[in-house]
Every structure is written in C-alpha cells, then in structure tokens.
Structure 1
Amino acid sequence: MTVKLYLAGPEVFLPNAREILDAKAAMTREYGFEPICPGDIFIEPAPTRHEFGLKISAVDEAMMDRADGVIANLTPFRGIAADVGTAFELGYMCAQGKLVAAYTNMTANHFGRTRDYYAGDVREGSDGRKRGPDGLSIEDVEMIDNLMLDGGIRRRGGHIAVHDAEPDALYSDLTGFKECLSMLADARLPEAGRR
C-alpha cells in the first residue's frame, strides 16, 4: 500500500501555485509516496463566500483524513510565524497520530523573528521573562516556530528541516521539503521507496 502524504503549506496562495504544487507532487512520487495536495480540489459553488470557505475547510479535512502523514511548510507567511491554516493542518494530523514532518526556509528562530518584529526592543520583565515594548511576553525556547508546532512534531518522532532560502525563493525552494521526504523514506518508512 502506498503511503499518502498531505502536502500542507501556503503555496496555494502564490501566483505560481500550480507550478510549485506540481513540483512538490512529482518529488513526492519520486520518493514512492502518493501526494495529496490541497490545491488539487474542485469546490462546488456556494451561495455566499462564507459557505464557500466552509466547503473548502470540509474538503481539506477529508483529504487529511485519507492521508497517512503530512509534510508542512512552516516558512513564516504574512508575518513572523507559519501560515495559520498550515498550523491547523499540522495540529490536526498530530492529533490523529499520523506521520509528521515539517520544513522552513528561514533559519532565524521564532524568538529572533519576534525580536526583529519589535525592532530589537525586547526587555526582561520583573518576572524574568523577555517582553516586547507592548508588555507581552516572548517565547525564547530556540524553536523554529511556536513551541506547540515544534514540540508536536518532535514528540511524534517527526523531522523538521531548517534551510535558509534566498528571499525571492522562500516558498519555491524545495530543499527542506526534499529532506523531509528523504527522512520519511529512509528512517520511518524504508519500504516506501528510497532516493
């Protein structure tokens, strides 16, 4: 039986989404897995945009239910953290006990990105925690993103690939994605295929 991998990430929002999704799907097949891509869906029309959004959500969950695992692109998207939809999908798969792997094309950890967001204005509060100028505490645990994402992957024996892509290739560089495929094929599923 071929292992099915759900390919989670913000690529569906890119102007060249189809090109990137096709490249990821082809690479997934090369490693002996069956890709399940959120961009490969047809959604029936709905009377309102809200109802259309609910249909997309339901179809995506059904796709994840059919998958055996996920590779999530956690490269920061529209801010300092991973795409929120991708974070949900990763959590959904973790909760089901499925195979999990993730990658990011940015080596700066979550704390570093948050510090940059505050333009370096990070102080130690009276409680010993680091805080931004707004008084909000900041995670400083040397993880690639929110500790729940990093911790959820690692507690399930998953792999996180960290790679520093060129700024114009943040969402098209597949170096980390390939590393995840290789780790899943070699370490977790030796019968799935090797490359």
Structure 2
Amino acid sequence: MALKVYIAGPEVFFPNGKEIIARKGELARRYGFEANTFGGGDYPSEKFAFGVAISKANEQTMRASDFILANMTPFRGLSTDVGTAYEIGFMCALGKAAFAYTNDPRAYDVRLSTDYYAGAVARGEDGMVRGPDGWMVEDHAMADNLMLDGAIVERGGTIARPPDGPVLPWDDLSVYESVLKTARAYFG
C-alpha cells in the first residue's frame, strides 16, 4: 500500500491552482505515493461555518496521511503561507515525517533584509543584525522561521531550494519533484 502524502501549500488560491495540484498529485504517484486530499463535501453556506468545516476536513486528512510535503515559497509576504505553516506544525506534532520546498532560493534573513528593510539593516550594539525599527533579523541560514525548518529537519526531512538565481514561478515543480525523490529515498 502506498504511503499517503498530504500536499500542503497555497496553490488552492491561484487561478490555475487545480491544475498545479493535479500535476503535484501525478508526480507523487510517479514516486509511489498516494496524494491524500479531501474531496468536496456538503459544507455549510455561512462563511465562518464553511471555513471551520474546511479546517476540520484538512485536519482529518492530515491525520489519515503518513507525511507532509509542503510548499514554503513565500506567499503574500516574506514567509510561508500561514495555513501551510500550521499544517507543517500539525503534522510534526502528530509525529509524522515532514518535507518541504520553496521556489525562492534566498534564505529568510536575506528576504527580510532585502525585501522588508530594503537593505537598511545594521549590526546592533548587541552584535545582532537589526532593522531600523530595532527588530532583530533572524539569521539562521534557513528557508523560513527556525521553528518550521527545525521541525522538518528534526524529523529527518529536508527543505529544498533552487540554486541561487531568480525565484522560480509557482507552477515550476522541479524543486517539488526533487523533494519527492528525497522522500522516496527516506521511506525506502
């Protein structure tokens, strides 16, 4: 029986999200995994209740999955989609294996220094790199917040990034596929 992978990421919000998600599922099958996703359902029409129902369905799907493969490409800001970050934490708390990728080759501190502070960072008296607001720039050479990277690595997973260069488009699945290869080797 194929291991079930919960494929996390913000693609559901994209105009071509269904296509990207379908391609990810097909690639997962090529590597011997079953893409575990919840189907439609009879959800309430009231907006808040609808959101709660989707959250519950996602958690049920994660519980029924063997591991997570998350897209940590920055979404609507400098960092991983907040829902995806929650899903990574949820799966790690369940003790399940976690793998991730980002199509942005830059480490979190570089994005923070360049994109948020426009390069206006300096080493403070305490030796920490800080922005003009005095806030520390988290510099751990990681793809994102240390809690995400740390949780994934501590469970034997990896966070893959493309080589230095431009940010790859959202529908470029080359880094995603490299993580599938890593997961296949991990599970044997």
TM-score by length of 2: 0.93
Q: Count the aligned residue pairs.
A: 186
Higher mean C-alpha deviation, range 107-116 or range 46-55: 46-55
How far did residue 184 of structure 1 move? 1.2
Q: Distance in 2 between matches of 1:13 and 1:166?
A: 23
Q: Partner of 2:53: helix, strand, or coil? A: helix
**What is aligned with 1:120?**
119
Q: Partner of 1:50: helix, strand, or coil? A: helix
Q: Distance in 2 between matches of 1:65 and 1:140?
A: 33
Q: Partner of 2:139: helix, strand, or coil? A: coil
How far did residue 125 of structure 1 move? 2.1
Q: Distance in 2 between matches of 1:138 and 1:43?
A: 43
Q: Which of these residues, 58, 61, 64, is aligned with residue 59 of structure 2?
A: 61
Q: How does 1:1-195 map to 2 (within 5 A)?
A: 1-37=1-37, 40-116=38-114, 117-163=116-162, 167=167, 169-186=168-185, 188-190=186-188
Could you list the per-position Cα deviations for residues 159-195 of structure 1 after superposition, in whole angstroms to 9, with x for gaps in the alignment?
A: 221115865x531111111111111112x222xxxxx
Higher mean C-alpha deviation, range 95-104 or range 45-54: 45-54
Q: Distance in 2 between matches of 1:134 and 1:30?
A: 48
Q: Distance in 2 between matches of 1:132 and 1:48?
A: 42
TM-score by length of 1: 0.90
Structure 2: runs of 5 or more not aligned: none
Q: Distance in 2 between matches of 1:48 and 1:123?
A: 49
Identity %: 44
